[in-house]
Structure 1
Amino acid sequence: MSVLTPELLDRIRSRAAGYDRDNAFFDEDLAELREVGYLRPRSLLECVRDQRLLAAHAPATALAVNMHLVVVGIARTLADRGDDSLAWVLADAEAGELFAFGNSEPGNDLVMWDSLTTAERVEDPVPGFAFTGTKIFTSLAPAWTRLIVFGKQADGEGAPRLVHGIVTRDDAGVTTLDDWDTLGMRATQSRTTKLDHVVIPDARIVRFLPLGPNADPFIFGLFANFLLLIGAVYAGIADRALELAVEAAQKRTSLKNGGAPYAADPDIRWRVADAALALDALAPQLETLAADVDGLADRGARWFRELTGAKHRATETARHVVDQAMRVAGGGGYRSSSELARLQRDVLAGIYHPSDTESVHATVAANLLGP
């Protein structure tokens, strides 16, 4: 049973507009979600369903929470496959630690296949790796206690290779900038993080990986959790947009049609139906893939094609549904104070999350036609 009760969701929705208006972090939402156990490890299918519901009430809150769920989800996905190397991440999550995602870098369009951050082997003050670089879109910036990062080791044993590790809030050399002022998803407060010779001890190094694409289970866990949870958030935005479109169609009246509600207008009915038809296709895709990740299904080489495709369809469908809702709602939806206007701004963020449209098409083409 979900811990997202109607009462909790109503409170969360009531705060969303204020967070957006004030460009403020969602402190109250986070406190309530933590209190009811929402941040503890769960199956991916449960998370996908709950994140869709949460996003329908507060998109930015859901998007930011996603990053914690992704890191914990990687650990859970590995454990399910007999790899307990990140069991301590699950224990930390159970104990209340808040994980964030610090992988995106300015100017790095190879995303997870290379890094502009350096990872240098050190022995002092403890054996580990010193990370220096800039990470952007660090959601949960005001509140995280654990931040997963990666960098490139250029010299030494095993080099060149990518080193993944987890920073704690009190590690020396971590600076969070107050630079988040965006069009949408404002409450995420996904600020820039500067790493200046931040030493991660060997005990918190989680993976050594080669440069370039690879099929390591860590990468599979990252993609599976990130892409499906991102898709769930944008599906949730579309759910709410469709609700608002239906409400608007029933409330608006047409002088041309003798005061009849717009819900009787065939063109409006077509738009609402068109949005619903597109949206109805998302749940079977997202939930089936999530259940297959949980169930250890073997989709072989199709996994990355289907995961990236699910995220792509969810974000693009959400944009279409919100656009249809804006057209149904009329000029009132264009007011900056309207919920639909906020959803329109929030849904645009979907085009910036990996995997982007170009990468998705490249992945699908490689699956079908070869590299």
Structure 2
Amino acid sequence: MPDAAVIDLPKTDWIALADQVGHEIAATTARHDEEDSFVEEGFRALKAAGFFKALVPAELGGRGADYRDICSAIRRLGTYCGSTALAFSMHSHLVAVPAWRWRHEKAPVEGLLKRVAAEDLILISSGAADWLPSNGRAMKVEGGYRVTAKKIFASACQMGDLLVTSARHEDAAGGPEVLHFAVPFKAEGVRRLDTWRVLGMRGTGSHDVVLEDVFVPDAAIVARREPGKWHMLYHHVFALAFPLVFAAYLGVAEGARARALEIARAKPKTSALVTATGRLENAFMKAEIAHEQMIRIAETEAAGPERTSRAGIAHTLTAQAAVETVERAMDVVGGSSFYRDLGLERAFRDVQGARFHQMQELPQLELSGRLALGMGIDG
């Protein structure tokens, strides 16, 4: 751990604060879904409550929140508004990973974390479409690089301060490499595109961002790695980021379950209703168990291929069970769940997003199968 005095701040009840934010924004959720508009009210409420600096260590000026507590807070937000929860999780994982590396690896990320705390910055991920290969072009120039790229799934980019992204530098002395860096949204050549017209999670504002000959100074490069190969940075990202992201989907599933039970309790208690409710409860417990395993793996296991495989398995199981929970909730309610006003139709669409985050099920099965057979992580 870095040489810094440990600061103990008064304990914050992040779940209670998430409830407070949730009550404030619940009435806006359907409107943002219908309009394909960004959940701005949710982000402003989260900022006012201190959420964007929550995971920054107290020693660096942040709130020093416990990782598990923020997972739980995102889950709670998801019961009110899946889009707010998911978009916030994208900022959260961009703080959680460097915070972990600062504490455990003495990584040189102190400057970014201090800025997030002091300036209350909102960090935007360029989306897992970059993943191991990355995309875009970085050309070496005096003092840095010129980057041209199109980045997708930039959730909450309307309110973003820094785009945390990467690009390929093909002409490096040692061969092609991927550069990781952050770019201010105010930088010359950074442009948002209005492209987010999708099935679910419509309020996340996950539009495309274009970088057109953007200058990135040498000092902004925080990591370099070989394209297409697993790097220790990505072992950290996968294990630490996705419990936060999938907390949003667990929250959507939990909200759908609660709504279904509320309606079912007012119905005649037929055998079919009781059985359908039992199936709902089984599905939801599977989701809770799998997500708890994701968190435990992140908190306790050593980074590397084996942890990544286990995290990937829990990732797939959480996604499957969250989707199943919403489907079972609709079974309990019956045909009326097809109506938008009930909210289950939106939950069904929102939870489908769990299927499309890295690693999706088929790549996860291949990775876990390779490791189980002693074949190594890189195909």
TM over 0.5: yes
| Alignment partner of 1:182 is 2:205 | no
* Match runs of 1:241-256 below 5 Å: 241-252=256-267
CA contact (8 A) 2:288 2:318 kept: no
Q: Deviations along 1:221-278, whole A, 9 cap, x unmatched?
A: 21123221222111111111111111121123xxxxxxxx2xx222222222222122
Which secondary structure state, in structure 2, belongs to the residue aligned with residue 176 of structure 1?
Answer: strand
Structure 1 residues 189 and 300: CA distance shift in structure 2, 3 A: closer
Corresponding residue number in structure 2 for 1:46: 69
CA contact (8 A) 1:153 1:162 kept: yes
Look up the equivalent residue of 2:100 and give its one-letter code.
T
Q: Deviations along 1:280-320, whole A, 9 cap, x unmatched?
A: 2333443354345345x337542111211222111111111
Corresponding residue number in structure 2 for 1:77: 100
Which secondary structure state, in structure 1, belongs to the residue aligned with residue 251 of structure 2?
Answer: helix
Match of 2:178 among 149, 153, 162: 162
CA deviation after TM superposition for structure 1 residue 167, in Å: 0.7
Q: Which segment drifts farther, 22-31 or 83-92? A: 83-92
Corresponding residue number in structure 2 for 1:26: 39
Corresponding residue number in structure 1 for 2:5: none
Give the Cα–Cα distance (whole angstroms) in 2 for the partners of residues 236 and 15 of structure 1: 17
| Alignment partner of 1:9 is 2:9 | no
Look up the equivalent residue of 1:112 and give its one-letter code.
W
Corresponding residue number in structure 2 for 1:102: 126
| Identity, % of aligned positions | 24
Give the Cα–Cα distance (whole angstroms) in 2 for the partners of residues 331 and 67 of structure 1: 34
CA contact (8 A) 1:289 1:307 kept: yes
Give the Cα–Cα distance (whole angstroms) in 2 for the partners of residues 87 and 34 of structure 1: 21
| Alignment partner of 1:128 is 2:180 | no
Q: Which segment drifts farther, 174-183 or 272-281? A: 272-281
Q: Which segment drifts farther, 1-10 or 76-85? A: 1-10
- Where do 5+ consecutive residues of structure 1 fail to align? 106-110, 253-260
Corresponding residue number in structure 2 for 1:257: none
CA deviation after TM superposition for structure 1 residue 122, in Å: 1.4
TM-score (norm 2): 0.88
Which secondary structure state, in structure 1, belongs to the residue aligned with residue 37 of structure 2?
Answer: coil
Give the Cα–Cα distance (whole angstroms) in 1 for the partners of residues 181 and 316 of structure 2: 28
Corresponding residue number in structure 2 for 1:256: none
Give the Cα–Cα distance (whole angstroms) in 2 for the partners of residues 231 and 103 of structure 1: 15
Q: What do you get for the CA RMSD once the two structures are aligned?
A: 1.8
Which secondary structure state, in structure 2, belongs to the residue aligned with residue 112 of structure 1?
Answer: coil
Which secondary structure state, in structure 2, belongs to the residue aligned with residue 281 of structure 1?
Answer: helix
* Match runs of 1:171-320 below 5 Å: 171-216=187-232, 218-252=233-267, 261=268, 264-295=269-300, 297-298=301-302, 301-320=305-324
CA contact (8 A) 2:283 2:328 kept: no
CA deviation after TM superposition for structure 1 residue 114, in Å: 1.1
Which secondary structure state, in structure 2, belongs to the residue aligned with residue 286 of structure 1?
Answer: helix
Q: Which segment drifts farther, 332-341 or 277-286? A: 277-286
Which secondary structure state, in structure 1, belongs to the residue aligned with residue 28 of structure 2?
Answer: helix
Which secondary structure state, in structure 1, belongs to the residue aligned with residue 367 of structure 2?
Answer: helix
Give the Cα–Cα distance (whole angstroms) in 1 for the partners of residues 362 and 71 of structure 2: 25
Match of 2:134 among 106, 111, 115: 115
Structure 1 residues 103 and 207: CA distance shift in structure 2, 3 A: farther
CA contact (8 A) 2:290 2:318 kept: no
Q: Deviations along 1:2-32, whole A, 9 cap, x unmatched?
A: 1525443212222211111221111111111
Q: Which segment drifts farther, 132-141 or 156-165? A: 156-165
Look up the equivalent residue of 2:226 and give its one-letter code.
P
CA contact (8 A) 1:139 1:188 kept: yes
CA deviation after TM superposition for structure 1 residue 160, in Å: 0.8
CA contact (8 A) 1:71 1:101 kept: yes
Match of 1:359 among 356, 363, 368: 363
Q: Deviations along 1:43-80, whole A, 9 cap, x unmatched?
A: 32122111111111110111111110111111112112
Corresponding residue number in structure 2 for 1:86: 109
Which secondary structure state, in structure 1, belongs to the residue aligned with residue 242 of structure 2?
Answer: helix
CA deviation after TM superposition for structure 1 residue 368, in Å: 0.7
Give the Cα–Cα distance (whole angstroms) in 2 for the partners of residues 332 and 145 of structure 1: 42
Give the Cα–Cα distance (whole angstroms) in 2 for the partners of residues 201 and 272 of structure 1: 57
Give the Cα–Cα distance (whole angstroms) in 2 for the partners of residues 324 and 121 of structure 1: 54
CA deviation after TM superposition for structure 1 residue 336, in Å: 2.4
Q: Deviations along 1:306-342, whole A, 9 cap, x unmatched?
A: 2112221111111111111112112221012321011
Q: Deviations along 1:332-363, whole A, 9 cap, x unmatched?
A: 21012321011011111111111111111012
CA contact (8 A) 1:152 1:163 kept: yes
CA deviation after TM superposition for structure 1 residue 104, in Å: 4.3
Which secondary structure state, in structure 2, belongs to the residue aligned with residue 135 of structure 1?
Answer: strand
